[in-house]
Amino acid sequence: MFGEIGFDKLVMLLVMFLLLFGAKRIPEIGRSLGKGIREFKGVSRDSMSPRTWGVRGGATPAVPPRPTRSPRRSAMDNHCAA
């Protein structure tokens, strides 16, 4: 899709990053990117837990009541009711 990324293209990207952001900013960018990824993983892991679906604080959510069904009428009941 993106083609082959060889060693020469990787070195070119690293040099461009160095020129664009500077040597002191690259570790800060890497640190903040790592923190963001860790936070995203934690949030996605918590949201997959059934205990926290729609509820903060770890309490289990209330189960919604099942809808009630009206009794089924037969063809004879429909005929007599008319």
pLDDT digits (tens, 9 = 90+) for 28-81: 999 999 999 999 998 887 777 666 555 555 555 566 667 666 666 665 565 555
How does residue 3 score in pLDDT terms, banded at 50, 70 and 90?
confident
CATH 1.20.5 assigned to domain 1-49? The reply is: yes
Residue type, 32: S
Return the domain boundaries, the chain.
Answer: 1-49
**Distance between CA atoms of residues 42 and 27, nearest Å:** 23
Backbone φ and ψ for 70, nearest 5 degrees, come out as -80, 150
Per-residue pLDDT at 5 exceeds 60: yes
